[in-house]
Structure 1
Amino acid sequence: MAILQPHGHGHDNEIETLDAFDRAAAGGSLVGRRVQSLDLTDRTAALLAADATAAVFLGCRMAPDAAAKVRADGALVFPPVPGVPFDPYRGLLYTPGELFDGLDRDGYAATPDARTYAWFQRTMRDGDVFASMLRAVHDDAISDALDERLASVPVVGVMGGHAMARGTDAYAGAARLGRSLARAGLTVATGGGPGAMEAANLGAYAAPHPDGMLDEALLLLGKEPSYAPSIGDWARAAFDVRDRWPEGGDSIGIPTWFYGHEPPNAFAGHIAKYFANATREDGLLARCTAGVVYLPGAAGTVQEIFDNATPNYYESRGEPTPMVLVNRTHWTEHLPAWPLLRALAEGRPMAARIALVDTVEEAARELLRLSGL
């Protein structure tokens, strides 16, 4: 079918902003283009004038005559989905401001993040096939947006437990690690939640600022050490830091509504939030092209170590991604993942790309050495 044959290839064929739409429509052709989640109600004249053969409109708002015309051209039109608190066809990653919209006005429960989590819990229980389809479409759109954002960018993952509290030495260390990696030219990616994840995203945010900014920010955040009992107070403290020191460095957070009781942190510049945790976990690790640093954590972090170890174990071209574990006591005695990882690596190319260190300063240096940066 002609509708399945795009006029271009991959992401080059997608239109995700009004500026991009205007540029394409000015040439008179939308042939084969994929237009994602745009309000085109003010672009009726352009839609009536442009050839939309084999185009696909995903969740775009259009005037009735414009929608009829592009359908007559042979375009597929997937209308916006009413009654859900998220856009399944979105073309871009989330921002912290978008997920926490309305926090100061109506409280956390009224934010898009909280409302989407409530929708997810409800639809998971009732088993509605339409809801499961919307979740799958959303997650695929997020993966597409994440691929676009990280194309040709060296990405380093920082993994660690969600329970790491603000105001602790461990949290400060994770923040310094994120800052060091960002200043080395890497894009920091985390699981996007609280604890060690927030700390690493905070460090990346602090990277363009003088060193003293991070010290001050840590003191301010320490007044709200955890998202329990109040997610709202915890999030407001982060936005206060962002307001005081705007124009921070970018980083990526990749959280999930599967663990929606853990809110996303506000320091990741771009957030790829998923419904399916398995998709989120695999996608996060697969995109860490410059390696992963593992801070002390519990079951989730152990799972991430061996999710990463499996493709490294089977990598036959000598290009496994670096893995650096931080805190010798934690990973050899408390949760002895390191001996098993080392045993798996013996005699394989990955053996030269794993390391166990004691401090975050050593971790940054070792990661950069192993990745050749």
Structure 2
Amino acid sequence: MGRPHGEQVADKERHCANLLGERDDLVWLPPVAGRESGYRNKAKMVVGGTVEHPTLGILDAGGQGVDLQGCGLYPGSLAACFPVLAAFVTRATLTPYDVPARTGELKNLLLTQSPDGELLLRFVLRSQEPVARIRKHLPWLLDALPQLRVVSVNLLPDHKAVLEGEREILLTATETLRMRVNGIDLHLRPQSFFQTNTEVAAALYRHAASWVEELAPATVWDLYCGVGGFALHVAARGREVVGIETSVEAIASATLSAADLGLAGVRFAAGDATEFALSAPAPDLVIVNPPRRGIGEVLSRWLEASDVRHVVYSSCNAASLARDLALMPSLRPRRAQVLDMFPQTTHYEVLTLLERTSPSWTGVH
């Protein structure tokens, strides 16, 4: 932070290139850099302080709340919600969870904003005890924030350094937030993952879709598909697309989006990406968008031994991408592009097109 944005992006591109190593047949496309501030579409705010004076932000080393309502990573439309949420904590008597003492109820507030300005709000609680009070005062909150569409409670009873628990309680009739990206409505349910930076995510999907369209595969897998961003963008007449994701909530969201778009050739299923790959006939092209740990040894070695001609690999951790590539020497990186998904941090997304090296196959260069 504090350095010109262009320098930050250039550093990320150099970092990625160093990890992937010197490759004469790899073309680096110009990096994608969106806004350097106000870019986050979600706020993951730890609640500290007291009922009368809550803090929304993070905890310090001693477990005390540090208020970050003025953080420049959030757009003004999202930041304007924070004082209202703090007032609601007081109004509904939601005692912030005291980490050192292990007392209190309200742990986190998770707020997501769609490109249309609509909101999804989640209260992460230790127990159901405050739910009745939240329901009682919810009309006030909906009146104060008319852009709220989905409100839920997430239960996290354990004393763990995690963001949310497994159980979700919906408090509104509307269950999904519509994230309109490149003209496609992606339905986002409370426990579904979506990229933090909508503007750069839209570019990520567009560029991947253009590569896939150029290659014109008949069959595509989208592994670690989330709410179906890649799968829905690469769907085309006559093309069979399968999306696999462990989150049941995300699969429900993706299935709803596909139905809205009338995409009969797109199918989503909840399951482990590696297990699915090991049990099904290989497609022409595979898209992978794994978590920071990468796709891992088993899936990498399966891809290496398979008949898959092309892989589109979207990575948020170039170090794990490099490890995976080392296990797939027959799938050569042909194109790479850094996308500055997380300005003012050292993190970034990199999109890579891999092509199988074979004398009988001439693909994209």
> TM-score over 0.5 for the alignment?
no
> Using CA pairs below 8 Å that are at least 6 residues apart, which structure has the higher relative contact order?
2
- Higher strand fraction: Structure 1 or Structure 2? 2
- Higher helix fraction: Structure 1 or Structure 2? 1
TM-score (norm 2): 0.28
